[in-house]
């Protein structure tokens, strides 16, 4: 309106001044004509009066034009300030410092504008809060979320997606290399087909390898036209690992059960089909049946123990047991086996009983499995040393052997079910491949920790740390006992 202000003011002036300009001369002419022929008024007097009437009319025209110009200027300024104010409200959505107007109509307009501005501001605040809440929800979700337009430009990405894909902070497009190129291709497919799709994507170069489940859906505008796509990234690496472990577990259990069962069935069929078999041969087959039955029973018991210590329903007992005594009993149980294998089984046990809270059956299982594992992987002439001691508020139990040791790549997997560093040696010793998995789960169920260190050809040492009750402080000895004073069963 800035270029039209002079024209607007001129038009407004003519609208106001036109009655003065038209009516004043018309009235003067009408009055002058009425003087002609009036009795008692001479022609000269009539002309004099007519001149005065025209003079007054001219004066009224001048005064009217002046008043009209003043009114037009005043009204145009009021309208201009009102226009500028309304434009400011439209631009800032704020109703600040409204102009003062005397015209009732303009005041009503400003009041309506104020109500509209406040309504818009309230709606904008509500929309902004909704946008902030939405951003907070998106940033708080555990899934990665990103959106791309139809040309591949990055519209949005949350921190989770940025961390999963390891992208820099300032980025406008996804890199044109695997695995981003596969992700971009999947998004383009979604945009072209205009319907949701699901893809699995492996992040190459990630250590360890990570797998993503990606759900992609098209983005539509108010006209239902697709202008991009949004992708939700689920890191399913752990889920896929657990699924693989379940498959391996079922396969391993089937194999471990089938092997002794096949032997038992074969031996039993042989004995049944040969009633005249020599007694010595019959005894050998029956011994084989008994041995494999024991192996089968041991496997089932280990599976039941593993299921129990892994189950969510397990509850930690408050009953206290002497860890030293439990370990000592385990040593006694395996002394004959160690002697038969020509292995020195040494015990360096603390004088303190080290009372720990928990299930004595699980604690015995921890001690038995660790000692049995050490004996299984220690050659004749070797040594297995079992220790217990106190470390602050922890009871520490360790088993050290001078056996074959392990390569570093095995250390992260030895606690997995059915994992064997040397399958032939383990099966020869009658192991099920579940012992260390039972140990780890039992220790964790008691709030403890387990660690291992090993060197090929030098041996292995396992540490188990179990929390001591806080009221057991009075039983603490100032320092671990000297090895010579603590030796048992050499």
Q: Are residues 340 and 254 in the same domain?
A: no
| Final residue before a domain boundary, out of 215, 235, 255 | 235
Residue 59 zone, left/alpha/beta (φ > 0; ψ -120 to 50; rest)? alpha
pLDDT in the model for residue 452: 93
Please choose, from the candidates 188, 205, 206, the residue with its C-alpha nearest in 3D space to the C-alpha of residue 197.
Answer: 188
- C-alpha distances (whole Å) from 469 to each of 346, 415, 445 are 28, 27, 15
Give the Cα separation of 355 and 467 in Å (integer): 9
pLDDT in the model for residue 311: 58
Please give the model's pTM, rounded to 2 decimal places: 0.49
Q: Are residues 352 and 303 in the same domain?
A: no
Q: Are residues 302 and 349 in the same domain?
A: no
Q: Are residues 174 and 91 in the same domain?
A: no
Does residue 479 lie in a domain region? Answer: yes
339 confidence band (pLDDT: 50, 70, 90): very high
pLDDT in the model for residue 413: 81
What six digits make up the tokens of 178?
Answer: 């695997």
pLDDT in the model for residue 206: 54
> Are the C-beta atoms of 25 and 61 separated by less than 8 Å?
yes
Q: Which residues pair with 147 in a beta bridge?
A: 156, 230
Does residue 437 lie in a domain region? Answer: yes
Q: Which of 8-12, 95-99, 388-392, 428-432 has the lowest mean pLDDT?
A: 428-432
For 12-63, the pLDDT digits (tens) are: 677 767 777 777 777 777 777 766 666 666 667 777 777 777 777 777 778 8
| Final residue before a domain boundary, out of 192, 212, 235 | 235
> Are the C-beta atoms of 426 and 433 separated by less than 8 Å?
yes
pLDDT tops 50 at residue 313: no
For residue 224, what is the domain's CATH number? 3.30.450.20
Q: Are residues 80 and 229 in the same domain?
A: no
Does residue 477 lie in a domain region? Answer: yes
> Are the C-beta atoms of 421 and 415 separated by less than 8 Å?
no
Q: For residue 302, give the 3-state DSSP assignment.
A: helix
- C-alpha distances (whole Å) from 348 to each of 179, 344, 417, 473, 485 are 55, 13, 30, 22, 8
Q: Are residues 378 and 483 in the same domain?
A: yes
pLDDT in the model for residue 400: 95
pLDDT in the model for residue 130: 82
Q: What percent of the chain has pLDDT over 70?
A: 78
Containing structural domain, residue 163: 142-235
Please choose, from the candidates 466, 471, 465, 475, the residue with its C-alpha nearest in 3D space to the C-alpha of residue 352.
Answer: 475
pLDDT in the model for residue 489: 34
pLDDT tops 60 at residue 423: no
pLDDT in the model for residue 395: 94
Enclosing H/E stretch for 233 = strand 226-235
pLDDT tops 60 at residue 224: yes
Does residue 80 lie in a domain region? Answer: yes
Cis amide linkage into residue 334, ω under 30° from 0: no
* Mean pLDDT, rounded, for 154-163: 87
pLDDT in the model for residue 408: 84
* Mean pLDDT, rounded, for 51-80: 76
What six digits make up the tokens of 457?
Answer: 């050809």
Q: Which residues pair with 347 in a beta bridge?
A: 386, 488
Q: What b-and-e string marks burial along 294-313, b requiring 16 or more CB atoms within 10 Å of the CB?
A: ebbeebeebbebbebbbeee
Quote the distance between the C-alpha of residue 125 and its chain's center.
Answer: 29
Task: Report the domain count for the chain.
Answer: 4
420 confidence band (pLDDT: 50, 70, 90): low
Does residue 133 lie in a domain region? Answer: no
pLDDT tops 60 at residue 474: no
Q: Which residues pair with 234 in a beta bridge?
A: 213
For 93-118, the pLDDT digits (tens) are: 665 666 665 556 566 766 777 777 77
Give the Cα separation of 346 and 335 in Å (integer): 10
| Final residue before a domain boundary, out of 48, 82, 104 | 104
pLDDT in the model for residue 315: 56
**Length of the chain measured in residues:** 490
For 226-249, the pLDDT digits (tens) are: 999 999 998 888 888 778 777 777
pLDDT tops 70 at residue 476: no
Give the Cα separation of 157 and 230 in Å (integer): 10
Mean pLDDT for the chain overall: 79
Please choose, from the candidates 144, 154, 134, 141, the residue with its C-alpha nearest in 3D space to the C-alpha of residue 228.
Answer: 154
* Mean pLDDT, rounded, for 175-197: 86
For residue 286, what is the domain's CATH number? 1.10.287.130
Does residue 267 lie in a domain region? Answer: yes
* Mean pLDDT, rounded, for 445-459: 90
Give the Cα separation of 26 and 455 in Å (integer): 124
Question: Which phi and psi angles does 227 have, rounded to 5°?
Answer: -120, 0
pLDDT in the model for residue 53: 75
pLDDT in the model for residue 12: 67
Q: Which of 75-79, 357-361, 436-440, 471-475 has the lowest mean pLDDT?
A: 471-475
DSSP secondary structure of 380-433: TT-EEEEEEEEETTEEEEEEEE-S----HHHHTTTTSTT--SSHHHHHHTT--S
Q: Are residues 159 and 301 in the same domain?
A: no
Does residue 195 lie in a domain region? Answer: yes
pLDDT in the model for residue 475: 43
* Mean pLDDT, rounded, for 347-364: 89
Give the Cα separation of 193 and 200 in Å (integer): 18
Please choose, from the candidates 154, 485, 119, 466, the residue with its C-alpha nearest in 3D space to the C-alpha of residue 322.
Answer: 466
Enclosing H/E stretch for 467 = strand 459-467
Q: For residue 146, give the 3-state DSSP assignment.
A: strand
Q: Are residues 375 and 466 in the same domain?
A: yes
pLDDT in the model for residue 384: 95
pLDDT in the model for residue 401: 94
Does residue 82 lie in a domain region? Answer: yes
For 133-156, the pLDDT digits (tens) are: 877 877 778 788 899 888 888 888
């Amino acid at each position: 309106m800035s270029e039209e202000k002079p024209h607007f003011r001129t038009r407004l002036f003519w609208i106001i001044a036109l009655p003065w300009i038209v009516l004043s001369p018309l009235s003067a002419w009408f009055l002058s004509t009425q003087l002609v022929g009036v009795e008692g008024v001479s022609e000269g007097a009539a002309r004099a009066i007519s001149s005065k009437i025209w003079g007054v009319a001219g004066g009224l025209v001048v005064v009217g034009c002046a008043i009209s110009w003043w009114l037009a200027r005043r009204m145009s300024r009021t309208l201009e300030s009102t226009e500028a104010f309304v434009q400011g409200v439209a631009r800032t959505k704020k109703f600040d410092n409204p102009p003062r107007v005397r015209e009732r109509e303009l005041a009503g307009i400003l009041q309506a504008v104020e109500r509209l501005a406040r309504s818009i501001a309230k709606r904008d605040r509500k929309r902004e809060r909704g946008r902030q809440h939405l951003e907070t929800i998106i940033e708080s979700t555990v899934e990665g979320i990103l959106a791309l337009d139809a040309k591949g430009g990055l519209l949005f990405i949350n921190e989770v997606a940025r961390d999963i894909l390891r992208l820099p902070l300032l980025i406008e497009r996804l890199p044109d290399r695997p695995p981003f190129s596969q992700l971009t291709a999947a998004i383009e497919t979604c945009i072209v087909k205009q319907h949701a799709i699901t893809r699995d994507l492996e992040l190459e170069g990630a250590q360890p390898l990570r797998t993503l489940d990606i759900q992609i859906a098209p983005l539509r505008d108010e006209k239902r036209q697709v202008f991009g796509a949004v992708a939700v990234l689920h890191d399913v690496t752990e889920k896929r690992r657990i699924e693989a472990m379940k498959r391996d577990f079922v396969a391993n259990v089937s194999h471990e059960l089938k092997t002794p069962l096949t032997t038992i069935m074969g031996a039993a069929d042989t004995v049944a089909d040969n009633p005249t078999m020599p007694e010595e041969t019959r005894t050998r087959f029956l011994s084989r049946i008994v041995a494999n039955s024991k192996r089968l029973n041991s496997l089932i018991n280990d599976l039941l123990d593993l299921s129990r210590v892994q189950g969510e329903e397990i509850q930690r007992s408050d009953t206290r047991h002497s860890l030293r005594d439990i370990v000592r009993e385990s040593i006694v149980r395996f002394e004959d086996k160690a002697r038969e294998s020509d292995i020195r089984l040494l015990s360096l046990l603390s004088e303190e009983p080290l009372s720990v809270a928990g299930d004595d059956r699980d604690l015995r299982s921890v001690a038995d499995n660790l000692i049995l594992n050490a004996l299984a992987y220690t050659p004749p002439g070797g040594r297995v040393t079992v220790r217990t001691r106190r470390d602050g508020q922890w009871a520490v139990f360790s088993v050290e052997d001078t056996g074959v040791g392990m390569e570093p790549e095995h250390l992260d997997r030895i606690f997995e079910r059915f994992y064997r560093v040397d399958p032939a040696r383990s099966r020869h010793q009658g192991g099920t491949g579940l012992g260390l998995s039972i140990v780890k789960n039992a220790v964790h169920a008691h709030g403890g920790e387990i660690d291992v260190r090993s060197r090929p050809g030098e041996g292995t040492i396992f540490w188990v740390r179990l929390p001591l009750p806080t009221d057991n402080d009075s039983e603490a000895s100032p320092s671990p006992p000297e090895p010579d004073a603590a030796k048992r069963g050499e």
